[in-house]
Amino acid sequence: MTHIMKSIIKKTALSLIFASCAGGAMAQSLNAGYFLDGYTYRHELNPAYMGDSYFSMPVLGNTNVSLRGNMGLENILYRTDRYGLTTFLNPDVSANEFLGDLNDNNKLNLNLNMAIFSVGFKAFGGYNTIGLNVRVNAGVNMPYDFFDFAKRGMHSENTQYNMDDLSVRSRAYVELGLGHSRQINHNLTVGAKLKFLVGGADLDATIEDMSVNMSQDQWLVRAHAKVNTSMKGAFYTLDEDGLVDGIDVESPGVGGFGLGIDLGATYKFTEGALKGLTLSAAVLDLGFINWSDNVVAYNQGEDFFFKGFHNIAIESDGSGRELEDQFDDLQDDLEKLYNVKTDGEVGSRSTMLAATMNIGAEYALPAYDKLKFGLLSSTQFNGPFTWTEARLSANVNPTNWFGASASYAYSTFGSSFGLLVNFHPKGFNFFIGTDCMLGEVNSQFIPMNSNANVSFGFNFILGKN
């Protein structure tokens, strides 16, 4: 496990930016299923929701992979007559063409939520769930000036750049969730889920502020940077100048422990002018993980010289260097920007989970109550990776064994269409859906834009509730 820090940074930052395949740290469930009756994992979105009694097929019960952001592969790779497929750093790609498509803050988030095992059943006066999940979340936030600096460099005498909040985060942990919901009366249902967390690894690399002063033959950089790596047995390795160039791990194991809680409620109007309307709200992932082994690398504002980024051409006919090798060169340049050192001390560190708030309203048609319309507002609170989404959906359950949902969402990352189909006859359940319909992909099936999502699962139905 040598040079793990390089691998983590590349897979969370460079792969996020340049390949859009390894990208905040948010663990996402399928929002398209929030209002769909019969969807087995509604309790992941609001612990007050009840469902059929079930147990999951091991590992395949509920898998959700989500890539969300306001930039993508199409913002990074370009096709030119002379070089074929090339990065934005190539001089044949104009600065105006590249920079004109960027935002003040450019974000990408990757989330994996996989159910190792899950079960739901009626007992103790309500509905209960037990779930063991693996969650991997990563994100990158890069300001506009970072790309301006990388692309244009010195474009006038004494050029200066100032950058804030350049961040890379990555976290992997396992959670054991115990949920219970119960109907208080004909209108009100409440639920809660307690989560026991076992941490695997956590990376938080941040340049709080960075200034670059450029002259004809050298670039003077001053940065306040900090890299926290929380992993059992981790220690940084150094280059010949005493700067961090990687990380090794001795005796890897459990990195930390934590607790989390989900809270939710629904209120259904059963009479009067509001009959058919149901309001709901939930707060998810209120909690923390305490990491026992944390090593810190830092730059406290020392001046250093940076020679600049290299022009990279990626040849589409296969005669050039491998794509991964090209990204390694870019990664090495980014590491020089961090220019961090370490005192080698190992300490503890606590990190908060990224809490999510869901607020929903659904309405069942009086003439055909199997068709419902829903409006869901979701907000995740996560520092520079905070996002919000509003999703309007139509949900239909024409039979007691089949349901479908179609939705449109507008979020921090733009607009998207969602779709979910759910088969749940007696004895079996299969669902497949997406919050973001997959658009154009390249030859390696990597999405060209930044928003893609897929969720699917196989489960066994023990009883219809």
> DSSP readout, 36-62?
-TT-TTGGGT-TT----EEEEPTTTS-
- For residue 66, the model assigns a pLDDT of 87
Q: Is 118 in contact with 53 (CB distance < 8 Å)?
A: no
Of the listed ranges 46-50, 68-72, 116-120, the least confidently predicted one is: 68-72
- For residue 319, the model assigns a pLDDT of 42
CATH number at residue 105: 2.40.160
The span from the CA of 299 to the CA of 349, in Å, is: 19
- For residue 287, the model assigns a pLDDT of 96
The residues with which 389 forms a beta bridge, in sequence order, are: 378, 411
Question: Please, where are the H alpha helices in 45-200?
Answer: 95-99, 144-152
Torsion of CA 216, 217, 222, 223, to 10 degrees: 100
Q: Is 246 in contact with 319 (CB distance < 8 Å)?
A: no
What percent of the chain lies above the pLDDT cut of 90? Answer: 45
Of the listed ranges 68-72, 83-87, 118-122, 341-345, the least confidently predicted one is: 83-87
Ramachandran sector of residue 98 (left: φ over 0; alpha: ψ -120 to 50; beta: rest): alpha
Of the listed ranges 4-8, 90-94, 122-126, the least confidently predicted one is: 4-8
Given a cut of 90, whether residue 404 has pLDDT beyond it is yes
- For residue 324, the model assigns a pLDDT of 56
Given a cut of 90, whether residue 449 has pLDDT beyond it is no
Of the listed ranges 205-209, 265-269, 398-402, 405-409, the least confidently predicted one is: 205-209
Nearest to 12 by CA among 24, 3, 1, 27: 24
Beta-strand ranges (E) seen in 73-218 are: 77-80, 84-87, 105-123, 126-143, 159-183, 188-214
Between these two residues, 336 and 282, which has the higher pLDDT value? 282
Of the listed ranges 175-179, 338-342, 419-423, 434-438, the least confidently predicted one is: 338-342
Total structural domains within the chain: 1
Domain containing residue 47: 4-463
- For residue 453, the model assigns a pLDDT of 87
> Cα 455 from chain centroid?
14
Q: How confident is the model at residue 94 (pLDDT cuts 50, 70, 90)?
A: confident
Q: How confident is the model at residue 272 (pLDDT cuts 50, 70, 90)?
A: confident
Ramachandran sector of residue 464 (left: φ over 0; alpha: ψ -120 to 50; beta: rest): beta
Of the listed ranges 66-75, 92-101, 269-278, the least confidently predicted one is: 66-75
pLDDT in tens, 139-165: 888 888 888 887 877 666 677 888 877
User: Tokens 């020679």 — which residue?
Assistant: 307
Q: Is 190 in contact with 264 (CB distance < 8 Å)?
A: yes
Q: Is 246 in contact with 6 (CB distance < 8 Å)?
A: yes
**How many residues does this entry show for the chain?**
465
Which pTM value belongs to this model?
0.84
Q: How confident is the model at residue 262 (pLDDT cuts 50, 70, 90)?
A: very high
- For residue 7, the model assigns a pLDDT of 40
- Print burial letters for 233-267: b (CB count within 10 Å at least 16), e (below 16): ebebeeeeeebbbbbebeeeeebbebebbbbbbbb
pLDDT in tens, 301-344: 666 666 655 555 554 444 444 555 655 665 665 556 667 778 87
Of the listed ranges 15-19, 60-64, 69-73, the least confidently predicted one is: 15-19
What burial class does residue 401 get, using C-beta atoms within 10 Å of its C-beta: 0-12 exposed, 13-18 middle, 19+ buried?
middle
The arithmetic mean of pLDDT across residues 408-434, rounded, is 93
- For residue 9, the model assigns a pLDDT of 34
pLDDT in tens, 234-254: 888 887 777 777 777 887 789
Token duo for residue 221: 């950089």
